[in-house]
Amino acid sequence: MISHPLPLLILVLFTAALAADAALGQSLSIIRKGESELLIEAAAPPDTRYVLQESGNCHLWQDVNDDVRGQLSYRVEGTKVTKRFFRLTPWTPPGPPIRLALIGDSTVAGENGWGSGWGKGMHGYFKPTVQIVNLAWPNMSTATFLASEQKPKLVAIRPDFVLVQFGWVDWGGCNGDTICTTTLQDFAINLKAIIQAIRGFNGTPILVTQPDPRVFDEQGHVRPALQERSAVMKEVAAELQTPLIDLNRLSMDLANGLGERGSAFIGSTPGDWIHYSLEGAQVISGLVVNALPDSLGPYLVGILDPQPKP
C-alpha cells in the first residue's frame, strides 16, 4: 500500500491488499476468486465522480472506468498479471486534443506506402484525441532531414510532441551513397538543431535511440549495434534537458528475452533485421509508448494489453 497526500488511493496488486480513506469515503481492495480471477473492488462517494486507473510502472496510468460513483467491481485475470498498480483518483476533464509527430528513417516510417517501421504500430495506443503524423522517411539522416521538405512540414504542422529517431542512415549512408552520413560531431550538432526547431514552435522533442537489429551471436545473445550513436543522443538529451527513450536498450532486452526464434516474428521478412512486421511494429511501438513522459499518460490506451506473440 502506498499513501498519498492528495485524495488519491493507490493499491499494488502483488497479493490481497486494501487501501482506504474513510474521511473521503473511498476504498480499494483486492478479492481473490479461485486460482485465476481477482476482483478490484472500488468505492467512492455517490455524489463525486472518480476514476479507477491501472498502471504497470506507477507512472503511465490508463483509465479502467472514468465514472466511479458508489461501488464498482473490476475483474482481473490473475494468471496474466505479475505486478499491477491501481488507483482511485478524482475525475478531471479530459485534456485538449494533441498532435504527435514522428521523424526518422525507414525503421520508424509507417505511412505513405512505406510500412516497414515501428511507427505503423503506434495508433492503437492512443485515444482519439491524439493525431499521429508520421513524417519519417526511408534513407533519411539528420543531415538530409534538415535539408528536406519534411522539416518545413513539421514546422507547419506544429505538433505538441515529436519523437526523434535517427542514426542508421547517419552511420551507414543511403543506397550506398555516403552523402547521408554524418560524423558523431555533426550528428550531435544536427540533433541539437532539430530540437531547437521543435522548441521554436513550442513543441516537446523526445529523442529515441535506434532499435537494435536483432542479430544474434553464437551464444544466442543480441550483438550490440550503433552504441556510439546512442551515446551521442544521450549526451545531447542530457545537455539540452530533453526526454529520451533508450529504444536501443529496450529492443535488445526484448530480443534477448525472446531469443532468436522467438523474436523472428518481429521482422518484416526473413533476413530483414531492422524492419518490422505489423505485429513487430506493435511490439516495438509498445516499448516506446511505455517509456513516454508521464504527461502523455492521460492520452494512452491499451498499454497493459498482452503483446502480440509468434
> What is the residue extent of each domain of the chain?
9-90, 98-299
In this prediction, the residues of the chain whose per-residue pLDDT falls under 70 are 1-25, 78-82, 111-115, 176, 309-310
Burial (CB count <10 Å: 0-12, 13-18, 19+), residue 60: buried
d(CA 223, CA 239): 28
Q: Name the nearest CA neighbour of 224 among 207, 208, 248.
A: 248
pLDDT at site 7: 41
**Side-chain-facing half-sphere of 305: CA atoms under 13 Å:** 16
Is 98-299 in the same CATH topology as 9-90?
Answer: no
> Which CATH architecture best describes the domain 98-299?
3-Layer(aba) Sandwich (3.40)
Predicted structure pTM score: 0.86
pLDDT of residue 25: 67
- The predicted pLDDT at position 273 comes to 81
Number of H helices, E strands in the chain: 7, 13
Q: What is the pLDDT of residue 118?
A: 95
At 1 the pLDDT is: 31
For 273, left (φ over 0), alpha (ψ -120 to 50), or beta? Answer: alpha
Q: Give me the residue label for grid cell 499513501.
A: 3
pLDDT of residue 81: 61
pLDDT, position 40: 86
Q: Find the helix packing angle between 227-239 and 184-200, rounded to 10°.
A: 40
Bridge partner residues of 245 (DSSP): 208
Report the pLDDT value the prediction gives residue 79, as an integer from 0 to 100: 57
How far apart, in whole angstroms, are the C-alpha atoms of residue 196 and residue 204? Answer: 10
Q: 125 and 300 in contact (C-beta within 8 Å)?
A: yes
H or E element that contains 102? strand 98-104
* CA–CA dist 136, 117 (Å, integer): 9
Tell me how far apart the 2 most distant CA atoms of the chain are, in Å.
69
Which fold, 9-90? Immunoglobulin-like (2.60.40)
Give residue 10's pLDDT: 53
Is there a contact between 200 and 170 (Cβ–Cβ < 8 Å)?
no
Q: Is 27 helix (H, G, I), strand (E, B) or coil?
A: strand
